[in-house]
Every structure is written in structure tokens, then in C-alpha cells.
Amino acid sequence: MTYGTPVRAVLIANRGDNDGGVIGQLLRERGFVCEQWAREDALEWPQLASDVAVVVPLGSDWSVYWPDIAHLVEAEATLLRAAHQAGIPVFGICFGGQILAHALGGEVKRAEKSEIGWFSIDWNVTQVTLPAVDGAVWLQWHYDCFVPPAHAQVLATSPAGVQAFRLGRSFGVQFHPEVTPQIIERWSSGPGADELHKVGMSPQELRAETEKRAATSATHAATLLAWFFEHAT
């Protein structure tokens, strides 16, 4: 789906990490005007206007269940729930997928198996027809996982848990289809570098693998987003 007149896409992220990457670029190519909303300002967000055609909550270094940010988490969950109830498509990515699951009645918890790096996932071929991304490798960086809400379709899994679910026009994924080399450069610096060392990976290794996989991953992201718009709208 490509829109002929400008409509808005609301991308939600933390300050300093508000990069929609590949997904943001694909939305702009479809005619969307992308607007960034900061999670830290969630208590001050307006209601979604009639020209908002999609909401994309992105990843975060937060956890949905942290008590000190509960007020901000619930404000974002309220907005995502309102979008879902209004029939506005929601595409949640990593933390965004987790908070979407939480907003719609699911659960977020610490994962028994974290994933950092490039991993393949298993698509439920009885629930989704995505042959172009079957066997694709996606960037993962998470310590938490989500249990989808009741009645949601589980579309993909990995040894770490559910990787994708859909409920009506809402779609949540655990992996990062938006990732670019520039995003990984930022994530793998500072505290991110320490996280990588803890799992036996150097920032240089992850950056090099991302450079190698970025173009193919972007192609898969385009396929995934096209599927989302076909089935969610």
C-alpha cells in the first residue's frame, strides 16, 4: 500500500535512539510523514489524530516491568491500546512489540535465553505466508520476551520464545527489521560494548556482520512491511 496524500506515521522511541532506520525509510517511500514521539514525554502526548495511519513503537533499553518507569509504560500502553481499538495499524518492534503485547493483555518477562546478534527464526507457515523471508536472519538484542495476548496469532518463534504475533491490525516482532549499520554503530558503543563482551562478542565483530547482512536484511524488512500493510490494513 502506498498513500497518495501525506499521512502521518508516529514512531515512538527513547531520546537519543529515535532512529527508525530501514522501517522509517520504507514508510517515507510509501508517502508517510514520520513523526518522532519520545517515550520520556509519554505523559504529555496528545491523542492520535485522524491523519495518523500507523504507529511504530521501536526498541528500548527499558524493560516493560521496571517499577520506576511504570507510569510511562502505562501511558504508552494506553496509546497503543487506543490505536488498536480505533483500527490504526500498530507495528511494534522489540520493546515496542513487548509493550504492544502488554497493552493488549499479554505478558512481558525476563527471557530464559537472551539473544544478541544475528539469528534465524521459525515462521509458522500455517499462520503466515512469507516465503521471501523464510529462513531469513534478523538482528536481535533483547533480554526480555513477550507472551502474546489471548486470541493472537503466533507467527514466528525461536528458542528464546515468541518472535512475532498478530492480533487484528496490531503486529509485534521481537527482532529488529529496522536495523542499519549506523544503528549498530551506536548500540555497540559505550554500555552496549560491555553487553557484547559479556556474551563473548566484540563490537567490531557485530559491526562487521551487520555490514555484511544489512542489504539483505533491508530487503527482508521491505517484504515484511509490505505483508504488514496488506494484512493489517
- 84, 94, 115, 195: which is the annotated catalytic residue? 94
Integer-rounded Cα Rg, in Å, for the chain is 16
Residues 107/165, Cβ–Cβ less than 8 Å: no
Of 97, 92, 88, 96, the C-alpha closest to 8 is 88
The C-alpha cell that represents 39 in the structure block? 517515550
The C-alpha cell that represents 74 in the structure block? 502505562
- 84, 102, 176, 220: which is the annotated catalytic residue? 176
Catalytic-residue membership of 176: yes
CA distance 23 to 224: 10
Residues 197/182, Cβ–Cβ less than 8 Å: no
The C-alpha cell that represents 195 in the structure block? 553487553
Catalytic-residue membership of 142: no
CA distance 150 to 148: 7
Catalytic-residue membership of 94: yes
- 76, 115, 178, 195: which is the annotated catalytic residue? 178
| DSSP annotation string for 63-108 | -TT-GGGHHHHHHHHHHHHHHHHHT--EEEETHHHHHHHHHTT-EE
- Residue 79, number of CB atoms within 10 A of its CB: 23
Residues annotated as part of the active site: 94, 176, 178
